[in-house]
């Protein structure tokens, strides 16, 4: 009987060890519930967990549950977070990604798909690796639009003095300073109250962010500017990536790429419906004078070329992909 008990205990220990061998991946993002980045993360998590059942498991946390973007990047570096995705703050870590803060650079979603092909692999992925990051996928938040409580924004002159919340992105701040606004970096979690209390007059975000967070309740005007295309970079560190089993790495890469068409289709459908939905909820909607904004944005392009190595070459490459 003693031998039988010992054998059973040994078998139980081996079983526990096998269970513990499963790769646990903590996936944390700051993106709020309902926004495209959050939806993408959820779909990715569900699909990759199906593929890796018993081999690895992704635990998914959104809406600042594990901290702000800054917190998440620090935890990623330390290994407390294994996977995250970043958007507007990425230039602070990989300067070359500021190319996506160039106003009116990205034409449409067909242009986005061209950028996300060979150009991304050959030009941008090595820049991530040079900083110790593995770029796994190129997703999106969408094209950003301006909302505010002062006036419709038709030309850059209409931004004069408007206190506009931006992400903590030096290039976004510089862009709106150049256009005449008073940019105010602020965590997105504080934006609703900031608008409600008048601490800020407006903000800029994709329509899915605006609708999911009911900003129509505290904003009067929606100006369809599409001034910046916001990609989402799914990343880990190269150290963590190299430590994962090949089966896990393959499933993560394949799943991340598989959902890209779904992301584009979902955002396309949402953008078409949300303009009407937000107007029906009381927002005054207008188009901007794109030519006037493009002309006023020239100093931002000049600064990018001066401060980012190969900046003008990157701009030219992106523009060529729109042909």
278 vs 79, 129, 213, 223, 224, CA distance in Å? Answer: 41, 41, 12, 12, 12
Whether the CA torsion 196, 204, 149, 173 is positive or negative: it is positive
Residue pLDDT, tens place only, 78-104: 999 999 999 999 999 999 999 999 999
Two tokens, residue 301:
């392009």
CB 135 within 8 A of CB 128: yes
Residue pLDDT, tens place only, 197-237: 999 999 999 999 999 999 999 999 999 999 999 999 999 99
| Domains of the chain, each with CATH number or no CATH | 2-320 (3.40.190.170)
Length of the chain: 323
Query: Of all residues in the chain, what percent carry a pLDDT higher than 70?
Result: 94
Q: According to the model, what pLDDT value does residue 323 have?
A: 85
Number of other CB atoms surrounding residue 182 within 10 Å: 14
Statement: residue 6 has pLDDT above 50:
no
Two tokens, residue 9:
């205990």
pLDDT category at 13 given cuts 50, 70, 90 is very low
- Residues 48-83: b if buried by 16+ CB within 10 A, e if exposed: bbebbeeebebebbbebebbebeebbebbeeeebbb
Query: Who contacts 158 (Cβ-Cβ below 8 Å, separation ≥6)?
Result: 151, 152
**What is the value of pTM for the model shown?**
0.90
Number of other CB atoms surrounding residue 20 within 10 Å: 8
């Amino acid at each position: 009987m003693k031998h039988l008990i010992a054998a059973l205990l040994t078998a139980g220990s081996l079983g526990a060890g096998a269970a513990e061998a499963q790769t646990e991946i903590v996936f944390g993002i700051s993106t709020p519930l309902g926004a495209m980045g959050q939806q993408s993360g959820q779909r990715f998590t569900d699909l990759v967990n199906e593929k890796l059942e018993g081999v690895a498991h992704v635990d998914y946390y959104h809406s600042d549950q594990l901290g702000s973007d800054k917190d998440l990047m620090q935890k990623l570096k330390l290994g407390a977070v294994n996977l995250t995705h970043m958007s507007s703050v990425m230039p602070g870590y990989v300067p070359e990604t500021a190319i996506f803060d160039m106003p009116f650079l990205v034409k449409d979603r067909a242009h986005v798909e061209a950028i996300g092909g060979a150009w991304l692999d050959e030009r941008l992925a090595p820049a991530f690796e040079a900083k110790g990051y593995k770029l796994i996928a190129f997703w999106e938040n969408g094209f950003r639009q301006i909302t505010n409580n002062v006036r419709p924004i038709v030309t850059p002159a209409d931004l004069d003095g408007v206190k506009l919340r931006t992400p903590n992105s030096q290039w976004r701040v510089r862009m709106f300073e150049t256009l005449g606004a008073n940019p105010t970096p602020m965590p997105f979690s504080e934006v609703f109250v900031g608008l409600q209390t008048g601490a800020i007059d407006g903000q800029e975000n994709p329509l899915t962010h605006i609708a999911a967070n009911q900003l129509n309740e505290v904003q009067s005007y929606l100006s369809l500017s599409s001034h910046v295309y916001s990609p989402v970079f799914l990343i880990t560190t190269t150290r963590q990536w190299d430590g994962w089993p090949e089966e896990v790495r393959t499933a993560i890469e394949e799943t991340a790429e598989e959902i890209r068409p779904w992301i584009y289709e979902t955002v396309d459908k949402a953008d078409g419906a949300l303009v009407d939905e937000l107007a029906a909820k009381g927002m005054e909607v207008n188009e901007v004078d794109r030519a006037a904004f493009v002309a006023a944005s020239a100093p931002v392009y000049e600064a990018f070329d001066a401060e980012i190595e190969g900046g003008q070459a990157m701009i030219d490459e992106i523009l060529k992909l729109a042909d």
